[in-house]
Every structure is written in C-alpha cells, then in structure tokens.
Amino acid sequence: MLKILKNVALYAPEYQGIKDVLICDTRIAHIADCIETPTGLGEVEVFDYSGLKAMPGFIDGHVHMLGGGGEGGPATRTPELMLTTATRAGVTTVVGCLGTDGTTRHMESLIIKARALEEEGLTTFIYTGAYEIPTPTLTGCVRDDLILMDKVIGVGEIALSDHRSAQPTHTDLAKLAAETRVGGMLGGKPGIVHFHVGGGPEGINAIFWMLDHTEIPVTQFLPTHMGRNQALLDQGLALIKKGGHIDITAGSKVPGQIMYLLNKGATLDSITISSDGQGSLPKFNEKGQLIGLKVGQMKRVYEVWRTLIQKHQVDISEALKLVTANPAKNLKLSNTKGAIKPGADADIVIMDDQLNIQELFARGRHMLSHGEPIVKGTFE
C-alpha cells in the first residue's frame, strides 16, 4: 500500500526541486528531500525516477466518454472511451458529457459509464444534460441532479450559437443558469453551466446578456470550443477581462491562440484546455451540410501542452495550470486534484526530458510503465 517515488523533479505544478514522494494507498502522504524506506509497515514499493519529472495527472473537463456524434446518421455515432485512451494521454480525471444526441445517449448510461471508468482507476464526474433545452436529466430536473447525484458537477454541454442547438432564448438560458447555481450551492458542487459554443455570429452574447440582466456571477459559466474562430477567441478574451474563464478544445491552432490571449493581457489562470475526446468533430459547409467527420482524441490536450513548452517557451509550471490546477479550481476539486501535495489524490504523471509520458499513477495505482499501460480496461 506504500509507494515511494524517489528523486523526481517535482512540478506541483510549481517547481519544488528534486524530491521524494510518499504515496499511502490512494493519497500523497508526504513530500521531502529524502524519504527513507520505513520498516514495520508492510511492503513498500520504491521507484527510482532520477532524471524524470513528476507532475499532477491531467484533468480533461470535456469528454464524450459514452461516445457521441451521429450527425451523419446512425453509422456515425462515435465509440465509447476505453481506459487506456485516457491514461496514455496522461489523464487521471475526466468529466463526461452528452452532446448533440440526447435521444439515443442517456444520462443513465453516462453516469454508469463514469462509474465504470472510476472502477477501472480514473476519477470521473459528469455534466447533466445535452445540447438541448429542456435538457435531459437523471431525476427530472437539473437542480435535483446537482443536489442528489454525487457525480454531477454542473449542466452541459448546452449548445449556443449553433445550427444544432435548440435555439434557446436568453431567458431560457438564464432560468437554467439560475437553477444550476442554486443546485450547485445546495449540493456543494461548482454548479457550472457548460456551453458548447458553435460557429454562429452571436458567439457567447447570451452569456454577456445574462451577466448584464441577472445576478448570476461570471464564474458560473464555462463556454468551450472558444478557439473555433478569431471572433469567438476575442469574445473569450472579453469574458476573461470580466473575471470569467474559458475552455478551448485542443487542436493544432491552440498553442498560437493561447499565446495570442496572453499577449492581449489574459492570464493563464482563466483558461483550460479539454479534448472533446470520443466526440464527433463534424465539418459542415456554409449550407450546413456534413462534409467530414473525425473522432476527438484525448491525447490532443497533452500535445498542445507540450507544444506550448517546446515551441513557445512557456514555463512547464505555467503550462501545467491549463490542464491541472485551473480545471481543478473550476470544478472545486483543488483540495484533492490538480496538485502534488500532501493529502491530495496520488494522481501523478512521470515524464522524461523530452516530456514523453513514461509512468502514470491514478489514485495511487500504477497504470502506465515505460509509456505502456500495465492496467487495462475490462474489454481492452
């Protein structure tokens, strides 16, 4: 039950120097310059990671763990998430959601899929709902889901400015946000309203309207796909300047977009990156016709993160915030997630000098070794 990771360059995400980390069952028990192997406490596994870096396990805040898609008909429904797709991507915590299809994908299936992944070793949460309003729930209402269902941390992804949305009015959205806020308060949850933002010209105007016309605080809203186009990125910047935060779906343009936001005065603390993993990434032409379809890859988040460091010279600790401390803070999980510190869950990624993922621990369980899974999902 005890593990000692010796001689790691520790990014907590702040750089702490060369340290030893003691893991007791699922948690980090102690961090020090040198931890001697204790005697009389049963078996102790000791791993010498000299020359390697230890960082918090990544948190991916937007994953279609149940599969999604279907925009091109039944044969285009995307497959479910398998455990090692997450662990190979350095991810130890996943937030699942439904998307376009709230008919053949159900909240009941989503919550049980989240529980399955948790049994297999990850930590999981879900958003209740899908694109549409009224949105599907477990108990019949968003507020009750938040209060009664442990895994539910907010509502989403509610589609805005998209031809696939339910074309909700600003008032519809404000009522949903109000219900989510109160449900979050009573349930001890963040109560996030997570928006899928499409390519329509309105962008996140609905969020700005709610900020102007209701008392709901800006921190309640988390729009994603904010790197979809330049206009949306600029709206995201405006939201950040109002004290809000945005999520960007990982892709090849994202490192450049993050640098743009930083140059315009945004701080990294307001931004998270997620994968849209297992979701469909459909391409539509100007007439709204489907012209292509891909499946979202969880590993893209790690690739964006690494590019920020290796091509744009962003400090490792700063870049880590985007995928560890920031999502943990948004999800109100900072006590246990997104940091390597005593008392936190032992979610740790070990990387080499080139930032290749070598080892992974999820709640203390050794999941990857030398870059390969040593724990696989039930059907892998």
Residues near Zn ion (CB under 5 A): 157, 196
From the CB of 225, what's the least distance to Zn ion, in Å? 6
CB of 52 to Zn ion, least distance (A): 35
Residue number with the shortest CB distance to Zn ion? Answer: 196
Among the listed residues 180, 199, 128, 137, the one whose alpha carbon sits nearest the alpha carbon of residue 157: 128
Helix axes 170-187, 205-213, angle to 10 degrees: 70
- Work out the number of other CB atoms within 10 angstroms of the CB of residue 329: 18
| Beta carbons of 196 and 159 less than 8 angstroms apart | yes
Q: Which is nearer to Zn ion, 57 or 61 (CB)?
A: 61
Residues paired with residue 10 on neighbouring β-strands, in sequence order: 17, 54
Q: Which is nearer to Zn ion, 256 or 282 (CB)?
A: 282
Residue nearer to Zn ion on the CB measure, 248 or 258: 248
Closest contact distance (angstroms) between CB of 9 and Zn ion is 36
From CA 376, how far away is CA 374, in angstroms rounded? 6
User: What DSSP letter does each residue of 222-240 carry, written as one string?
Assistant: EEE-TTSSHHHHHHHHHHH
Nearer to Zn ion (CB atom), residue 196 or residue 363: 196
Q: Would you say 61 or 121 has its CB closer to Zn ion? A: 61
Rounded to a whole number of angstroms, the minimum distance from the CB of residue 374 to Zn ion is 33
Residue 133 near residue 166 (C-beta atoms within 8 A): yes
Q: What are phi and psi of 299, to 5 degrees?
A: -70, -15
Of 69 and 184, nearer to Zn ion (C-beta) is 69
Catalytic residue, candidates 247, 276, 345, 347: 276
Longest dimension (CA), the chain: 71
How many CA atoms does the CB half-sphere of 377 hold within 13 Å?
A: 18
Q: How far is the CB of 359 from Zn ion (least distance, A)?
A: 32
Element (H, E) at 308: helix 299-310
Partners of residue 368 on adjacent β-strands = 360, 373
Give least dist CB 201 to Zn ion, A. Answer: 18
Nearer residue to Zn ion within complex by CB, 8 or 158: 158
Please say if 276 is a catalytic residue: yes
Shortest distance, position 157 Cβ to Zn ion, whole Å: 5
Q: Which of 155, 239, 231, 227 is nearest to 200 (CA)?
A: 231
Question: Helices 230-241 and 254-263 sit at what angle, rounded to 10 degrees?
Answer: 40
Q: State phi, psi for 40 to the nearest 5 degrees.
A: 80, 10
- The helix/strand/coil state of 178 is helix
Residue positions annotated with a catalytic role: 276
